[in-house]
């Protein structure tokens, strides 16, 4: 990890509004010589150090995983393809670009023909065909074909680097936690200074109040308003989740994606690589009526000899049918038609003659030929082969390939159903094949539709009626994801190829596999480095544990903000002593907020996210905070009327606040189990020890009650 990254993390956690407020308040307390009441600074320091250590630790692990995830570019050196680190690529080098590669350098295409997607730059989703001499822009990606290109720019000279450097608009994280933190900071920022000034002024006007007492009372009020532990707890829990996931070879590229995935209630799967392993084997080939086996095999060998083995299907076909000929990037005799997700076929062309292989319904409009394919589909992936001369099509035959179904596919599907996650399958295969496999692995709702049969799909209606979508083009995948989101779902999308990128960017949370394309990995928020889709349930479980527990712990922190803010405003107008001193508030905050909040946040909890932030504030934080505030006001009036000493007032205030706070911890811990019960007993033991042990009584300035 680079040193400047470490310094950025240190600066991020050190130079914060909360730390600035703590320093100012500490200076105020130090100015009156009450150094004991500066203990809250140690807590702030500890918060900062924990945040720094957690984030650096998480960053180091993410960086190590990213080195595994990022595939180095291929450079031609002495006619050989050599994987070369990005920083070692020089201007003038010749790089090899294949299907799924993201273009890292501004380059000029030398040999071959490719189709690229430049939506990152232009916003246009249509693929662009590039020929020798054309410019290849960094940031775009190859959607079909293979080529060599000469590097023109590297590093900050690349167009994509210049765009990123000049960009002034930064997209904020799509996170409810992130928004909550910002709102709290905004609230504190707007109110802390004016309330503090008024409160300090009012303390000096209380009869008999010393300069020291006025400052310490004001500091106690203001320090209590700051929910600094909540900010620390949120970042720490997400950082720890990132570390735990990294041990499972899951690369988290966006910290808040853990929260998003935890909220997912709809997951869109591609059959290949999720329900199946992605490994393809040729089952057999079937000669079409009226054709010969020789014609079929000759056509296959001719096509395959001109096309690269750059995906699981083509590799299986090469292994089975390609005997002697080798793929060439260019060919003077034939024009190559590379495979693309929009076309769904590939092939070669020589003048008026074409040999094509792929999805038959995309290669021909002859419905009688398509019916021949449907007869032999069963649960296989079907590759059809046709010969076209001057527009006249001859069906030569079919190759049937088998997907290897994942051994744990049934368990994965069961996990989603058990955790209230709707399963949708979006695939480029034919409907019969996908439906058969879906049933095999335990998918319950197998209502499906073949999008190639629809002229103008109504996606809003389709997502209400079906759960399996086949023969889907990249733009249609994106439209489906958008329709699911508009229907109220929080959508996760899995993908491994360039055909998935548009949908992955549209999804709330995107997941790619390590063996997938460069572009897919870079577009995703989570990368399964072992290409093991079985890790997804544990990712969702990790996210749910983090967010559920954070939502529950939030009420502890916000209750303090509620009663501290209320008391600060009220005591501007009351001529009584403020009921708290900083050192006692440090103890209360630890016992009733920080310690139980951290412990509960690490507890196992995989229940479905219920978005209970507002509920917790209304149901727990506000009532508890107002109860404590009302109790403190009543206690202050009683103390003033009955002549209680300042020490007795502070001690009774700590006991009452602790008791009400403990009751809140009990409420959010229900139903009690052994773990939560021991937590409550430990909190009580710490509080009793602080009140009864002479050494701690002196530190916290607890006075005899009567």
Active site residues: 270
Q: Which two tokens stand for residue 452?
A: 């190639």
Q: Do the Cβ atoms of 100 and 142 come closer than 8 Å? A: yes
Closest CA to 667 of 609, 607, 608, 627: 627
Q: Is 244 exposed, middle or buried (0-12, 13-18, 19+ CB in 10 A)?
A: middle
- How far lies 350's CA from each of 261, 298, 390, 677, in Å? 49, 15, 11, 79
Q: Check whether the bond before 214 is cis (ω within 30° of 0).
A: no
Q: Do the Cβ atoms of 136 and 107 come closer than 8 Å? A: yes
Q: Is 263 helix (H, G, I), strand (E, B) or coil?
A: coil
CB atoms within 10 A of CB 433: 22
**Cα separation, 50 vs 226, whole angstroms:** 18
Q: Is the dihedral of CA 523, 525, 528, 532 positive or negative?
A: negative
Q: Which two tokens stand for residue 530?
A: 């072992």
Q: Do the Cβ atoms of 221 and 564 come closer than 8 Å? A: yes
Closest CA to 248 of 608, 606, 534: 534
DSSP sequence for 127-189: -EEE-TT-EE-TT-EEEEEEEEEEE---GGGSHHHHHHHH----PPP--HHHHHHHHHHHHHH
**Cα separation, 651 vs 661, whole angstroms:** 15
**Cα separation, 10 vs 78, whole angstroms:** 46
**Cα separation, 629 vs 570, whole angstroms:** 9
Buried-state track 484-494, b at ≥16 Cβ within 10 A, e below 16: bbeeebbbbbb
Closest CA to 517 of 183, 98, 75, 127: 98
Question: CB-based contacts of 250: which residues, under 8 Å, 6+ apart?
Answer: 526, 527, 528, 529, 535, 539
Q: Which residue has the tokens 């273009």?
A: 103
DSSP sequence for 569-599: HHTTT--S--S--HHHHHHHHIIIIIHHHHH
**Cα separation, 111 vs 125, whole angstroms:** 25
CB atoms within 10 A of CB 208: 7
Q: Which residue has the tokens 């300035």?
A: 701
Q: Is 280 exposed, middle or buried (0-12, 13-18, 19+ CB in 10 A)?
A: buried
445 secondary structure, DSSP code? -
**Cα separation, 581 vs 213, whole angstroms:** 9
Q: Which residue has the tokens 């918060």?
A: 47
Partners of 284 in beta bridges: 400
Q: Is the dihedral of CA 234, 238, 241, 243 positive or negative?
A: negative
Q: Do the Cβ atoms of 141 and 119 come closer than 8 Å? A: no
**Cα separation, 596 vs 335, whole angstroms:** 69
């Amino acid at each position: 990890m680079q040193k400047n990254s470490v310094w950025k993390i240190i600066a991020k956690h050190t130079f914060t509004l909360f730390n600035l407020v703590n320093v100012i308040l500490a200076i105020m307390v130090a100015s009156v010589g009450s150094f004991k009441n500066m203990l809250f600074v140690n807590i702030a320091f500890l918060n900062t150090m924990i945040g720094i250590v957690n984030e650096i630790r998480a960053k180091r692990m993410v960086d190590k995983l990213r080195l595994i995830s990022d595939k180095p570019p291929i450079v031609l050196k002495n006619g050989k393809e050599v994987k070369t680190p990005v920083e070692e690529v020089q201007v003038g080098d010749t790089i090899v670009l294949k299907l799924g590669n993201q273009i890292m350098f501004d380059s000029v295409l030398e040999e071959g023909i490719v189709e690229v997607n430049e939506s990152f730059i232009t916003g246009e989703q249509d693929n662009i065909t590039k020929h020798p001499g054309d410019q290849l822009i960094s940031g775009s990606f190859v959607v079909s074909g293979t080529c060599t290109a000469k590097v023109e720019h590297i590093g900050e000279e690349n167009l994509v680097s210049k765009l990123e450097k000049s960009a002034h608009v930064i997209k904020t994280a799509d996170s409810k936690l992130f928004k909550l933190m910002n709102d709290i900071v905004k609230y504190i920022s707007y109110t802390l200074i004016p309330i503090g000034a008024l409160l300090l002024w009012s303390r000096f006007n209380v009869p008999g109040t010393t300069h020291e007492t006025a400052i310490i009372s004001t500091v106690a009020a203001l320090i209590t308003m700051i929910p600094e532990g909540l900010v620390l707890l949120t970042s720490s829990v997400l950082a720890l989740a990132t570390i735990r996931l990294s041990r499972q070879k899951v690369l988290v590229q966006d910290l808040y994606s853990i929260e998003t995935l935890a909220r997912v209630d709809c997951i869109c799967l591609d059959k290949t690589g999720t329900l199946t392993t992605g490994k393809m084997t040729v089952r057999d080939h079937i000669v079409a009526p009226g054709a010969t086996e020789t014609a079929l095999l000759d056509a296959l060998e001719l096509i395959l000899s001109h096309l690269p083995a750059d995906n699981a299907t083509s590799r299986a076909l090469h292994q089975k049918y390609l005997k002697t000929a080798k793929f060439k990037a260019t060919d003077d005799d034939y024009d190559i038609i590379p495979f693309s997700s929009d076309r769904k076929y590939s092939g070669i062309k020589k003048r008026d003659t074409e040999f094509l292989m792929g999805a038959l319904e995309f290669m021909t409009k002859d419905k009688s030929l398509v019916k021949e394919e449907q007869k032999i589909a069963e649960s296989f992936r079907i590759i059809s082969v046709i010969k076209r001369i001057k527009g006249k099509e001859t069906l030569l035959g079919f190759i049937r390939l088998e997907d290897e179904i994942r051994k744990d596919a049934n368990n994965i599907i069961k996990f989603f159903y058990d955790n209230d996650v709707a399963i949708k399958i979006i695939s480029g295969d034919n409907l019969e094949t996908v439906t058969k496999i879906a049933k095999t692995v335990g998918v319950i709702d197998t209502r499906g539709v073949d999008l190639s049969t629809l002229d103008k799909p109504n996606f809003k209606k389709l997502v209400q009626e079906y759960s399996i979508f086949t023969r889907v083009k990249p733009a249609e995948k994106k439209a489906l994801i958008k329709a699911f989101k508009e229907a109220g779902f929080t959508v996760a999308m899995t993908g491994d190829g360039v055909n998935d990128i548009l949908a992955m960017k549209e999804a709330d949370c995107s997941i790619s596999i390590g063996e997938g394309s460069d572009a897919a990995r870079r577009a995703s928020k989570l990368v399964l480095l072992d290409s093991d889709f079985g890790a997804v349930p544990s990712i969702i479980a990790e996210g749910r544990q983090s967010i559920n527990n954070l939502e529950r712990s939030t009420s502890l922190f916000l209750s303090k903000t509620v009663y501290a803010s209320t008391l600060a405003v009220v005591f501007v107008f009351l001529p009584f002593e403020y009921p708290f001193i900083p050192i006692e508030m440090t103890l209360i905050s630890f016992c009733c907020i920080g310690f139980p909040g951290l412990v509960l946040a690490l507890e196992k909890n995989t229940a479905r996210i219920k978005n209970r932030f507002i509920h917790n504030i209304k149901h727990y934080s506000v009532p508890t905070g107002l109860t404590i505030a009302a109790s403190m006001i009543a206690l202050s009036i009683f103390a003033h009327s009955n002549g209680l000493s300042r020490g007795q007032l502070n001690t009774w205030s700590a006991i009452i606040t602790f008791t009400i706070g403990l009751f809140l911890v009990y409420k959010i811990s229900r139903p009690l189990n052994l773990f939560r019960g021991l937590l409550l007993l430990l909190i009580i033991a710490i509080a009793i020890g602080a009140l009864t042990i002479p050494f701690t009584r002196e530190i916290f300035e607890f006075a005899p009650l009567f």
